[in-house]
Amino acid sequence: MKNFEAHTDETRKEMLKELGLQKLEDIYSQIPQNIRLNGLELPDGMSEMALQSEIKELSAKNKVNYASFAGGGAYKRYIPAAVSAVSSRFEFNTAYTPYQPEISQGTLQVIYEYQSMICNITGQDVSNACVYDAATACAEAVLMASRINNRKKCLISKGLNPQYIEVLKTYCEAADIEIEFIELSGLKTPKTEVDEDFACVIYQFPNFYGEIEDADNIKTKDSKTLKICCADITSLALLEPPECDITVGELQSLGNSLSFGGAYGGYMACQERYKRQLPGRIVGRTVDADGKQAFTLTLQTREQHIRREKATSNICSNQALIALQATVYLTLLGKNGLKEAAFLSAKNAHNLAKKLSDKGITVLNEDFFNEFVIETENAKQQLKKLKDCGILGGIAIDDKKILISATETNTEAEIDKYSECF
């Protein structure tokens, strides 16, 4: 079987002549010989049937039927089949069609509905069309706060996801924003009064360790200091959204699969008075020349639309497909369905925590939603033992602590098996 080749010998000769070279190897003459590859050592070509057979054989080696109790910002949740069926329709072809409103009313309307849903859930006034993920949403919110009050200090609760903190460090270093931290009291952010020289204070709700934070514990001496809350959006179906200036978080749990770590999406919402500093895309609703409802991009703050130095973010895009799937998911579940999914997650987590506590295992949390921390001997060894039982038991925080999560997908049998195998 002859392999497909993009260029013929005649085409190659023409290109080499244009470049003033004799042979193909002359293109790489400036690359030292010791770092060149001696061929790719690729196998011979295969027929489609043979390739499918080999891929199936390889995929059979994967172990995928674990009961998952891992969390830490990414959650295994039930995704109705209609989510992918609807989101793959031709009306939602690409993330870039919103630049052509005359042909992309489907995508624009979905984004508008998405923004409305995010505002309803978070209690905020304005939402953008989403950003890369929760970590970058946190970072964009800090940059946003710094622009609003022209301050260069940020206060971060140590209850924020450690991965988000690392991203914040990178952003803040580049923006010359100084970072300080609030140390936790147990697993919770203690009562803190934020000085007036801080641009913002940011905390997580519930925090990375599962503890439900008390927003009233964080007070600001100056009304110009913004409060940023990184909130688990599913938890807000049960818990009262904390009052804050900017709410951010992760979209993965809304109809998006774990997918080996991505692609995910981050949501951002804020109070009305800060809307012109909100980065990314924002879709508005209007009427066309015939008086019919129409949707278009509005409040153009992206670097593609205005002078780069005036943009609210020069590296901020959106995750249109993630937002689309989140919108379809929320539409299918509705308010009561999302509330039920949140309730079942909390019920399963508390059920497992009680079973472990009854076995003498210390649960460190006082108030939690669907994640909690236990104390045990040799955390990594315990997780390996659970994995041997077909259970992804959680995340080892250190040698003696494990962060455990439960969602609506965990069955009573899985919870019993976790307790038995521990």
Residue 201 has a pLDDT of 98
- What is the pLDDT of the chain when averaged over all its residues? 92
Rounded mean pLDDT of 223-243?
Answer: 97
d(CA 422, CA 418) in angstroms, rounded, equals 6
Judged against a pLDDT cut of 70, whether residue 97 lies above it is answered with no
Judged against a pLDDT cut of 70, whether residue 95 lies above it is answered with no
Rounded mean pLDDT of 17-30?
Answer: 89
pTM reported for the whole predicted model: 0.86
pLDDT digits (tens, 9 = 90+) for 275-309: 999 988 889 999 989 999 999 888 876 555 556 66
Burial class (CB in 10 A: 0-12, 13-18, 19+), 365: buried
Judged against a pLDDT cut of 80, whether residue 1 lies above it is answered with no
pLDDT digits (tens, 9 = 90+) for 185-225: 999 999 999 999 999 999 999 999 999 999 999 999 999 99
Judged against a pLDDT cut of 60, whether residue 346 lies above it is answered with yes
Judged against a pLDDT cut of 60, whether residue 143 lies above it is answered with yes
Residue 117 has a pLDDT of 98
Residue 305 has a pLDDT of 59
**From 27-36, 141-150, 159-168, 385-394, the region with the lowest mean pLDDT:** 27-36
- For the chain, the distance separating the N- and C-terminal CA atoms, rounded to the nearest angstrom, is 55
**From 99-108, 132-141, 226-235, 345-354, the region with the lowest mean pLDDT:** 99-108
Residue 227 has a pLDDT of 98
CATH code 3.40.50.2300 for 81-329: no
Residue 100 has a pLDDT of 72
Residue 221 has a pLDDT of 94
d(CA 132, CA 135) in angstroms, rounded, equals 8
Q: How far is CA 371 from CA 57, 365, 395, 403, 404, in A?
A: 37, 9, 11, 7, 5
CATH code 3.90.1150.10 for 67-76+335-421: yes
Task: Spell out the residues 6+ positions from residue 72 whose beta carbon is closer than 8 angstroms to its own.
Answer: 161, 208, 371, 395, 403, 405
Residue 302 has a pLDDT of 58
Q: How many Å is the maximal CA-CA distance in the chain?
A: 80
Q: Which two tokens stand for residue 411?
A: 């069955």
Q: With bands split at pLDDT 50, 70 and 90, how would you rate the model's confidence at 273? A: very high
Q: Which two tokens stand for residue 113?
A: 């509905």
If you average pLDDT over each of 90-94, 305-309, 361-365, which comes out highest?
361-365
Rounded mean pLDDT of 356-361?
Answer: 96
Q: In which residue ranges of the chain is CATH 3.40.640.10 found? A: 81-329
Residue 3 has a pLDDT of 64
Judged against a pLDDT cut of 70, whether residue 64 lies above it is answered with yes
Residue 94 has a pLDDT of 58
d(CA 378, CA 146) in angstroms, rounded, equals 43
Rounded mean pLDDT of 383-400?
Answer: 96
Within a 13 Å sphere around the CA of 295, how many CA atoms are in the beta-carbon half?
19
Task: Spell out the residues 6+ positions from residue 352 whose beta carbon is closer than 8 angstroms to its own.
Answer: 69, 404, 406, 410, 415, 418, 419
Q: In which residue ranges of the chain is CATH 3.90.1150.10 found? A: 67-76+335-421
